[in-house]
């Protein structure tokens, strides 16, 4: 199948004719140029995928310096454009110099047709891979911008979350490998994105891989990429997640779900900092910052022989444990208000508020799904509510979502205490505002605060 376009620059018209006849069978468009003086204009006009460039144009000169000059000019126009150099004078030092200056390959005249075609097709594959990486980076950049607009984090007031915040600000500035642990729904990916945002790599991409969703048969292709023809469905070359994350951050979510045999392959890539595409034998260096996450206790998995100890040491230079919501119930009112404002804006219900009773109900729930469950509950309530104030009846909580925090049989005393605490936080200890919100007098409020030791 013909694909891509090639620009051939050579002052020998017989060479150009022979190459056109040969390469028209492999490329959709073949453009010929007898003088490099028009290179700037033609590269801009035809946007070739490859340039095949002769190294000598002046009669009697065979130093190759002309080719090196025009190579540098092409790279100024498009640094990612593959340039294959063409010369009748083979010189190892010249070839090495050309490759150092950015040439993709070096072909000697007279050429072997099969080798020339293979060289040019490899250059075209390189061009496609670079395009894919660039598009992915641009797309991810837009996604990151959008996420960062909404990625304001509600850290809460609990000491555990404040300590976590301080730790993240410290480690984000380094390139240390980080393992984020915690139950489902605690916000491990949010933490990973915050680390990326605060890091020196924040202008680059964060590539996420759900390790639990990657099948064993596609693991190497997904992470390391593959070359055309390496297996049945490999119709084209394809870069993997490691290459896509080069110079940025690679986030391996649910790493605890990775099978034992695949752990060795991942460890090898992390240790060597290079990957080899499936079907190829050329090592490709990668520069990534690694963040992993799991809801499993990996030390226990190591003891059971389910997780490699050397891989665990490799991924958790720093371990960050995100506490479950039940261990920081004082954060629930703030989180509820945070999500309420977020979804009130999203669904054009900016005047919507949360009643004190509803806040108390939310704080008394167990939230086995942690922050994610609380978030979805608030979103659903905002969507379905027809009032300006959310009441307990607006929250469609399952009966099983009862508290395991001592509120299984919520008494009036418990409820009043929670109501007062929430109102104090919302109104920043303004007693008149709290009394008005709760519908009681200030003396009654003071009496109840003393009674409940608030």
CA 4 – CA 224 distance, rounded (Å): 24
H helix or E strand, kind and range, residue 342: helix 332-346
Considering only residues 59 and 98, tell me which one the structure prediction assigns the higher pLDDT.
Answer: 98
Report how far apart, in Å, the C-alpha atoms of 68 and of each of 179, 189, 204 are. Answer: 47, 47, 31
Mean pLDDT for the chain?
87
> Percentage of the chain with pLDDT > 70?
92
CA 239 – CA 260 distance, rounded (Å): 24
pLDDT at 229 over 90: no
Contact 89, 131 (CB under 8 A): no
pLDDT at 411 over 70: no
pLDDT value for 143: 57
- The band of 407, judged by pLDDT with boundaries at 50, 70 and 90, is very low
* Token pair of 100 as six digits: 């150092």
- Average pLDDT rounded to a whole number, residues 428-437: 81
pLDDT value for 16: 93
pLDDT value for 402: 45
Exposed e or buried b per residue across 175-199, where buried means at least 16 C-beta atoms within 10 angstroms of its C-beta:
eebbbbbbbebbbbbbbbbbbbbeb
Q: What angle do CA 209, 215, 220 make, to 5 degrees?
A: 70
Q: pTM above 0.85?
A: no
> Percentage of the chain with pLDDT > 90?
53
Closest among 392, 410, 418, 399 to 329, alpha carbons compared: 418
Contact 238, 221 (CB under 8 A): yes
């Amino acid at each position: 199948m013909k694909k891509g376009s090639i620009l051939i620059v050579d002052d020998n018209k017989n060479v150009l004719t022979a190459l056109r006849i040969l390469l028209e069978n492999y490329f959709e468009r073949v453009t010929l140029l007898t003088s490099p003086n028009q290179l700037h204009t033609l590269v801009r006009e035809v946007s070739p995928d490859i340039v095949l460039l002769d190294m000598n144009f002046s009669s009697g000169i065979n130093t190759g310096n002309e080719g090196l000059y025009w190579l540098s000019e092409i790279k100024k126009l498009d640094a990612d454009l593959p340039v294959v150099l063409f010369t009748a004078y083979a010189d190892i030092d010249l070839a090495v110099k050309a490759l150092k200056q950015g040439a993709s390959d070096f072909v000697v005249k007279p050429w072997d047709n099969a080798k020339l075609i293979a060289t040019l097709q490899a250059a075209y594959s390189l061009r496609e891979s670079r395009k894919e990486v660039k598009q992915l980076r641009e797309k991810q950049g837009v996604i990151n911008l959008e996420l960062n607009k909404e990625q304001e984090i509600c850290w809460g007031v609990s000491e555990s979350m404040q300590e976590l915040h301080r730790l993240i600000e410290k480690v984000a500035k380094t390139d240390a490998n980080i393992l984020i642990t915690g139950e489902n729904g605690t916000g491990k990916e949010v933490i990973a994105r915050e680390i990326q945002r605060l890091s020196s790599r924040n202008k680059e991409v964060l590539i996420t891989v759900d390790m639990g969703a990657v099948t064993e048969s596609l693991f190497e292709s997904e992470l390391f990429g593959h070359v055309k023809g390496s297996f049945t469905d490999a119709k084209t070359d394809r870069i993997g997640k490691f290459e896509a994350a080069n110079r940025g951050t690679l986030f391996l979510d649910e790493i605890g779900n990775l099978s034992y045999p695949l752990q060795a392959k991942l460890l090898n890539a992390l240790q060597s900092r290079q990957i080899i595409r499936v079907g190829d034998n050329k090592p490709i260096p990668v520069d990534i910052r690694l963040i992993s996450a799991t809801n499993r206790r990996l030390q226990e998995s190591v003891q059971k022989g389910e997780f490699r100890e050397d891989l665990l040491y490799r991924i958790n230079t720093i371990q960050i444990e995100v506490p479950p919501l039940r261990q920081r119930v004082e954060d629930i009112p703030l989180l509820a208000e945070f999500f309420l404002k977020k979804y009130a804006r999203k669904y054009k219900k900016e005047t919507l508020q949360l009643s004190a009773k509803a806040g108390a109900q939310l704080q008394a729930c167990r939230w086995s799904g942690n922050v994610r469950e609380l978030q979805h509950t608030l979103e659903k309530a905002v969507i379905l509510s027809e009032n300006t104030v959310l009441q307990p009846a607006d929250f469609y909580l399952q009966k099983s979502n009862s508290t395991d925090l001592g509120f299984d049989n919520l008494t009036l005393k418990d409820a009043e205490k929670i109501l007062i605490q929430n109102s104090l936080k919302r109104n920043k200890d303004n007693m008149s505002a709290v009394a008005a919100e709760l519908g009681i007098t200030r003396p009654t409020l003071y009496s109840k605060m003393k009674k409940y030791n608030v």
